[in-house]
Amino acid sequence: MLTPLQQQAMAPPPLCPVFDEARWLRVLFTISDTEQWLQEQQVQHLYHLPLKHHKKLLRKSWYLGASTLAHIVERHYYKISRHPATGKFTIDIPYIIAYIRDAFQQQPEPIPQSSNLQRVWDAGEPIGYDDKGNTVSVLTVVSDAAGRIITAFPGYINHPLI
């Protein structure tokens, strides 16, 4: 025969008695609708750029989201003074985005010690300077295995990104 402590240990966990399913479902659908609306706004915002072939940035195999684009601009655009020890683009934002789009043509290469991939694309003209201050014409785009772009910057990867 089991002791009361052993019986308690074997008993299934009690359900949360304060779970309000109706409220929970309303919040779930509100979040879902908001997420869909934000996705639509993001697509429309990218379409406002003076750029051809916008859809190439929104493929499932090569996807540039608004939060990633904000990261790239905040960290790697010369007009934003944050993160001074990083490479900076010295070209206008529509060109940065066009070059990210064009980098998709490159074969992805694995990044050592990482599960991410990189595409390195040469613009043929100076696009900025790398983290050491050298003028470069090369853009590196880092993505995950599914193609979601994580970051992009002028120059090459000098250390592993994990």
- Rounded to two decimals, the pTM is 0.68
Return all residues near 12 (Cβ < 8 A) that are at least 6 apart: none
What percent of the chain shows pLDDT beyond 70? 82
- Number of other CB atoms surrounding residue 50 within 10 Å: 10
Average pLDDT over residues 142-151: 91
- pLDDT at residue 150 is higher than 60: yes
Least confident span in 21-25, 86-90, 124-128: 21-25
pLDDT of residue 14: 61
Distances 128 to 41, 79, 108 between C-alpha atoms, Å: 29, 12, 22
pLDDT of residue 151: 95
